Amino acid sequence: MAYKFLYQGVIASLMGLVFLYNTLLTRLFKKTKTSSSSCSSMAFPGGNCSQKTRNGEVDGSTTDIIIVGAGVAGSALAYTLGKDGRRVHVIERDLNEPDRIVGELLQPGGYLKLLELGLEDCVDRIDAQPIFGYALYKDGKNARLSYPLENFHSDVAGRSFHNGRFIQRMRRKAGSLPNVSIEQGTVTSLLKQNGTIKGVQYKNKDGHVSTAYAPLTIVCDGCFSNLRRSLCDPKVDVPSCFVGLVLENCELPYANHGHVILADPSPILFYPISSTEIRCLVDVPGQKVPSVYDGEMALYLKTMVAPQIPVELYDGFISAIDKGNIRTMPNRSMPAAPHPTPGALLMGDAFNMRHPLTGGGMTVALSDIVVLRDLLRPLRDLHDASSLCRYLESFYTLRKPVASTINTLAGALYKVFSASPDPARKEMRQACFDYLSLGGVFSNGPVSLLSGLNPRPMTLVLHFFAVAIYGVGRLLLPFPSPTRIWIGARLISGAAGIIFPIIKAEGVRQMFFPVTVPAYYRAPPVD
């Protein structure tokens, strides 16, 4: 028993050292950044609403920014830029309330971003549920992992809801600004002239082809984006699919908590989406799922999945399958790899995706909007496309600490939480569950990363390897055997094999040393 305490003590001291290093580094970065940006503040622009000409064209002289897509990113962005006085023209394929299984749990870090953007009331009056943390289940044991919310206002917590209700609230709020116009239409292409995006071509609600022009077009057309191809290098990976069900008339074992079941072959999630409904998302590895239509999916859920879920949810789960409203959605991940293009920018899932296991997508999108808003604020005029494009390259570095932490954690946790026949991977999975169950700094650290409350790349790497070392220590103590040493070595190399490729794709320099990237210091072009 004593070796366990000694061992935890060593890990805690190691972590303390890295925290100290991290805090000092961050303070230094903040000081440098503040002094570089404080000299660039200028007056905000005033604005009128976008004006349509008689032939249906939206004139570039009356629009500052076109936004393609009014989902989570597009509608939040439209409100944010509209509030700053920009004349915004949003083109959205379908203005009816979306009915989807995505974007239903907003992490507390995302809620903080809503507050910063003045959009927090969009989670009011939609029967959204406050979320205070997670419950983690493995082999009949469970642990509660609370969000470390002690230092925040009592309103700050996660929120879960119907995605469509949230989006409609944001669309309405954006549309209530006199300088934001939202139009139903499908954008078919970006209009390019001499390498600069000048606007978009789109089919409006009546099927007529129209064009719209603006100095800046921001593409937020989501995970299936057709428009991103010319603006980035889209390397999309689809590791698995989520199968979605809604459970009614049952209670979660831990009220107002997300539930993660470390099942075989991969995790199962439960969280409330209203006061009477619980969303269940079952991860199915690979790109092909059993067919919903010929009953294969129902059979799979009843025979393979149902025996692994908490007993409190069993009846509700079976009823949900019998009701038959089973939805599926591919889980995509794509590192941000932009081709900076004058006149255009990508945001939201069109730009960057990660596995939805940790519910980080909306938090990253909202955090990116805050970064972009702050960069655009000093600019009166957006017409000098080349200078603007060069200036906005800083966006790709400034967003990194938050975005890359959430992205890396999502990819790494998905791998660690998935079952494997490999003994080293099994040990890593068990070590992760036990490490998080220790509570205190061992759960607060990882949960504050996941929740977006304190997303720091260095802290992420530290906890990830602390889990691996914890796993190895348990193998070797009190008496190591050659087999256990071998499994321990493979556990460490397996952990490295999980996290390093993700970090490489995110960009080591941008992620850990953003202040060394020249674009970090770009000053706004002089109007």
- Chosen residue from 74, 85, 316, 457 binding ligand FAD by CB under 6 A: 74
CA distance 10 to 174: 51
CA distance 352 to 365: 9
Tell me the β-bridge partners of 269: 260, 281
Q: Near ligand FAD by CB under 6 A, which window of 64-72, 246-254, 299-307, 494-502?
A: 64-72
CA distance 258 to 143: 12
User: Whose Cβ is closer to ligand FAD: residue 101's or residue 495's?
Assistant: 101
- Spell 477-492 as b/e; 16+ CB within 10 A means b: eeeeeeebeebbebbb
- Name the 3-class secondary structure at 82: helix
CA distance 266 to 261: 9
Chain residues 182-241 in contact with ligand FAD, contact rule CB under 6 A: 186-187, 220-223, 226
* Cβ atoms within 10 Å of 99's Cβ, excluding its own: 10
Chain residues 325-364 in contact with ligand FAD, contact rule CB under 6 A: 329, 331, 348-350, 356, 359-363
Phi, psi (degrees; rounded to nearest 5) at 43? -65, 150
Chain residues 365-424 in contact with ligand FAD, contact rule CB under 6 A: 365
Chain residues 77-96 in contact with ligand FAD, contact rule CB under 6 A: 91-94
Whole-number minimum distance, CB 108 to ligand FAD, in Å? Answer: 11
Task: Assess 242 for contact with ligand FAD (CB under 6 A).
Answer: yes
Q: Tell me the residue ranges of DSSP E strands in 84-179.
A: 88-92, 105-106, 129-131, 133-138, 141-146, 158-160
Task: Assess 70 for contact with ligand FAD (CB under 6 A).
Answer: yes
User: Whose Cβ is closer to ligand FAD: residue 92's or residue 506's?
Assistant: 92
Q: Measure the N-to-C terminal CA separation of the chain; round to a whole number of Å.
A: 67
Whole-number minimum distance, CB 6 to ligand FAD, in Å? Answer: 39
- Chosen residue from 85, 86, 104, 278 binding ligand FAD by CB under 6 A: 104
CA distance 461 to 430: 18
Compute how many residues bind ligand FAD; rule: CB under 6 A.
37
CA distance 90 to 182: 5
Instruction: Name the residue with the smallest CB distance to ligand FAD.
Output: 71
User: Whose Cβ is closer to ligand FAD: residue 354's or residue 429's?
Assistant: 354
Whole-number minimum distance, CB 446 to ligand FAD, in Å? Answer: 17
Chain residues 426-455 in contact with ligand FAD, contact rule CB under 6 A: none
- Chosen residue from 68, 216, 321, 334 binding ligand FAD by CB under 6 A: 68
Whole-number minimum distance, CB 91 to ligand FAD, in Å? Answer: 5
Footprint of ligand FAD (CB under 6 A): 68-74, 91-94, 101-106, 186-187, 220-223, 226, 242, 329, 331, 348-350, 356, 359-363, 365
